[in-house]
Structure 1
Amino acid sequence: MKQGQGWSPEQPEQHYLVQPRTVAGGGDIRHVSEYLRASGWRDRSTKRGPVRMESPDRTLRVAYDPHGQPGGWTIHGKATGANEEWSAHLGRQTPVEIVAGLTDALTLPRSAHAPNVWAPLAESGWNARFEGNSYSATSPDGTAWLQYRQETDGTAMWWTGANDTRGNSWRGAFTPTTPLHVVQAFATQLASPEPVMRPRGRVPHSSKIRTWSVSVTPSQLGAWQQARINTARAATWSRNSHRSARPSTSTPPYAHAGSARTRR
């Protein structure tokens, strides 16, 4: 049968699965911002300015500014009740999938279980050790780390980052008041062995990465992105429904942020 005039089949586009994710490059920031928007966060960005997202209760803010010093992601939580003010900064080359580990967690209720920041690192074979006043864990290939360091004057800080000689290095820091379940969610994505997807032309030039070429149609890519947004909307609808019906007596199950990730 003859196709209608102007009809053309979808053309696959070349993408790459990149591993390890820690030095895969920054990626598309909409992976973070669109999930927050679908979770009911307000977009406070200005035209041609940094991306700024604010939680519905106005206690949390996530911003991305590639041009500031130091450029990258800034996450801030206001003091609320028993929670102290906290903040985190992640460099511009931090992969968005790892950033989303932190920011996705901000949209979810806390688990009833006590958080363990080091557990996901240990499960992925990271090497943990004490070094003076700090406790550190390093990825098996040595490219990434997470450290909790306490200085002699009593001050403390979480430090993280990844090393690469070809411009894909990044650093991050969290104040010691950062909620531990947030740091754990970040650590889970930091240590994940799953590759991340990058389009052709956005794959880092590095001897430390492995890549696999895959053909992806625009509709496939759009469907995967939409599935992630749908996950956020469904979780938000569920929480709002429970609140309007009765006081919540249980914690909804954690919806893994990677449900629409790149391994297909």
Structure 2
Amino acid sequence: MKKKQWADPSPNDQAEQHYLIEPRHLAGGGDLRHVSEFLRASGWKDQSMPGGPLAFASPDSSVRVSYDPYTQPGGWTIRGEATAQQETWVASLGRQAPVEIVAGLTDALTQPRTAHAPNPWAPLREQRWHPHHGEHFTATSPESGAWLQFHQTGPGQAYWWAGALNEHGQGWNATFSQTTPMHLVEAFTAALADPEPVMRPRGHVPPSQRIRTRSVSVRPSQLRAWQQGRVSAARAAAWARTTWATSRSRTAPAGRPYAAQGGRTR
């Protein structure tokens, strides 16, 4: 058997220095395409204006995801329109919220709900976050650099509040209206508490002594392959959902209400 011949790396595919950063909530914003390309591959409509804010709408136009760095304080806004089963809801995340954490929420928007009852505190408890039973129930990360709080001042006056800070002050904030679907808040907290480090290129590492970094050499082709793997997974899931919905519509008994043939359920 002949030995496999390996081509020499392309001159444009030389390894570049990157850094693995933990905790991830202090890693800085990151590449917006981590969020936008997944939404596009999942069938969301790109409504961004050239040179303007990023904007995507769900296939049924009921949810809109936008990123605006040009206003103050700027950042991410995710808004869901009211439906028969769901009140209007909104989530806002600051510009320095790591895209990997934002994607915890936005990825969940593209996926069907699971059968289990959501619990936003569960992922934090699993990663040994510290609970604080004060006026507003709060949980803080093991090194106290991030938090989640359910802030309630009265009946119907409540919201979820999360964020991170380092020795220089507050890094980013996130707020979720009380009406935000609980499974989305849980998806966010799971990404927030995930102990896996995130990667940033040289020159994009926050100047903080509260982060831990590890230098790695990565070729551009490797980065593209990782990004393409994420996009391909989103595209495959979108295709599977479309195929399943089409199959159900063809086999559903005549005369059944539309909601029973794939409409929203609680």
Query: TM-score by structure 1 length?
Result: 0.89
- Partners in 2 of 1:18 and 1:172 — Cα distance? 21
Contact 2:167 2:210 survives alignment (8 Å): no
Tell me the amino acid that sits aligned with residue 148 of structure 1.
F
> How many angstroms does 1:154 deviate by?
4.2
- Partners in 1 of 2:244 and 2:201 — Cα distance? 40
Equivalent of residue 235 in structure 1, options 234, 237, 256:
237
- Partners in 2 of 1:10 and 1:58 — Cα distance? 40
Three-state SS of the structure 2 residue aligned to 1:156 is strand
> How many angstroms does 1:244 deviate by?
0.7
Three-state SS of the structure 2 residue aligned to 1:198 is strand
Residues 211, 196 of structure 1: alpha-carbon distance in 2 compared, 3 angstrom cutoff = same
Match of residue 216 from structure 1:
218
- Partners in 2 of 1:110 and 1:153 — Cα distance? 27
- Partners in 1 of 2:219 and 2:52 — Cα distance? 31
After superposing on structure 2, the runs of 4+ consecutive aligned residues of structure 1 that deviate more than 4 Å are none
> How many angstroms does 1:168 deviate by?
6.7
- Partners in 2 of 1:8 and 1:93 — Cα distance? 34
- Partners in 2 of 1:57 and 1:204 — Cα distance? 38
Residue segments in structure 1 that go unaligned for 5+ positions in a row: 250-264
Tell me the amino acid that sits aligned with residue 118 of structure 1.
W
Match of residue 170 from structure 1:
172
Equivalent of residue 92 in structure 1, options 80, 91, 95:
95
- Partners in 2 of 1:73 and 1:9 — Cα distance? 34
1:118 matches 2:121: yes
Higher CA-based Rg: 2
> How many angstroms does 1:196 deviate by?
0.1
Match of residue 8 from structure 1:
11
Match of residue 58 from structure 2:
55
Matches within 5 A, 1:156-195: 156-166=158-168, 169-195=171-197
Matched residue pairs, number? Answer: 245
> How many angstroms does 1:9 deviate by?
6.8
Q: Deviations over 1:192-241 (max 9, x none)?
A: 00000000000111010000000000110000000000110111111111
Three-state SS of the structure 1 residue aligned to 2:166 is coil
- Superposition RMSD in Å: 1.9
> How many angstroms does 1:164 deviate by?
1.6
- Partners in 1 of 2:28 and 2:66 — Cα distance? 18
Three-state SS of the structure 2 residue aligned to 1:163 is strand
Three-state SS of the structure 2 residue aligned to 1:28 is coil
Equivalent of residue 20 in structure 1, options 23, 26, 29:
23
> How many angstroms does 1:119 deviate by?
0.5
Tell me the amino acid that sits aligned with residue 82 of structure 1.
Q
